[in-house]
Amino acid sequence: MLTLRKANDRGHANHGWLDSYHTFSFANYYDSAHMGFRTLRVINDDRVAGGGGFAPHSHRDMEIITYVLEGELEHKDSMGNQAVIRPGEVQRMTAGTGVTHSEYNASKTDAVHLLQIWILPERSSLTPGYEQKFYTPEEKRGQLRLIASQDGRDGSVTVHQDLNLYATVLGNGEKVTHEIGQDRHLWVQVARGSAIVNGEVLTVGDAAAINAEPTLALIGQEDAEVLIFDLA
């Protein structure tokens, strides 16, 4: 079964410096029908204006993945990490027992566009941790590139949950497939462009939950960039 989550149905908050769309309930947006999907709790589609950003704030007991689509995001945290996250890079932060961090647009003039993803961890009170890795466009072009997993295999970042997160970039007519294991569930998020997902056309910001189907078939249309969450 495929269930669509259309971009225009998401929660929306515009704070001037931050224009954010919430796939699931977040902050002042509450929707009891969209509290998350399996252990996937948050997908925020954020655009931060030049010079804007999130002042230091704290998290705990959450796996946080940042995926930058355009621009540069500057990160600092209480673990001593300082980094700039650019397109193609994936950052994983384990909040665990508690982390304070800030995120600012590294540019004073140009916007940064990112997806911030929260995943419920396998257990509480984990030791905080941090990873950041780069994946070239060629690694994702016309194929599924594993970018996050529980065991960190194939050069993916390690998340403390039974999750495989793939990214792919598809031109018009390019196709990839993914066999869905027994008792597995997929969330497919279109980050850029458009794609046909098991026969349904999804455009930028759209998503689909896939349950009780054997295979995922993706066909690119308009320079698609797609994230696939394979969850227990």
Q: Which residue ranges form the domains of the chain, and what is each CATH number?
A: 2-231 (2.60.120.10)
Average pLDDT over residues 148-167: 98
For the question of whether the overall pTM of this predicted structure is more than 0.95, the answer is yes
Give the DSSP per-residue string, 12-51: EEE-SSEEEEESS-BTTB--TT-S-BTTEEEEEEEEE-TT
pLDDT at residue 232 in the model: 97
Average pLDDT over residues 6-23: 97
Give residue for tokens 């690694």.
139
Do the beta carbons of residue 70 and residue 113 sit within 8 Å?
A: yes
- Give start and end residues of each alpha helix (H) in the chain: 137-140
pLDDT at residue 80 in the model: 96
